[in-house]
Structure formats: C-alpha cells, structure tokens
Amino acid sequence: MTHDMEQTMACINCGRSEDELPLMAWRAARRSFWICPDCLPLLIHRRDEVMPRWDLSAHSPQDSG
C-alpha cells in the first residue's frame, strides 16, 4: 500500500469520513486527497480560493518559465 492511500480517508474540506458518505480520491500539487460530493462544488467553482486553504497550491505552466 502506498503512502498516499494510507492517509485518513476524510473529506479535505468538511472532515467527514467514508463511513458517513461517499468520498472521491483526487490528486493535485503532487498530493492525494479525498473530497465528498457535498464539497466537490467548492473545488469546481471556487478552486482558486480553496486550494491554498487546503495547502494544494496549484502551479500554472506559466510559473515554471
């Protein structure tokens, strides 16, 4: 089992576990995280706001040049 899969399976935003509701695995900024269906709209519609709060700062391709 990899280190990423050993992490606690809880929503990165609300903290609810897989025992409470379904979770989806995602990757960003070279990290794996879990998110529930209730919090997924935050990731989709307010990504620039929530990713730094979740310590998942994305780097655009323009930043590397």
Instruction: Assess whether pLDDT exceeds 90 at residue 40.
Output: yes
Q: DSSP for 18-53?
A: TTTS--EEEEETTEEEEE-TTTHHHHHHSHHHHHHH
Q: What's the mean pLDDT when you consider all of the chain?
A: 84
Cα–Cα distance measured from residue 59 to residue 39, given in angstroms and rounded to the nearest whole number: 22
Instruction: Assess whether pLDDT exceeds 70 at residue 58.
Output: no
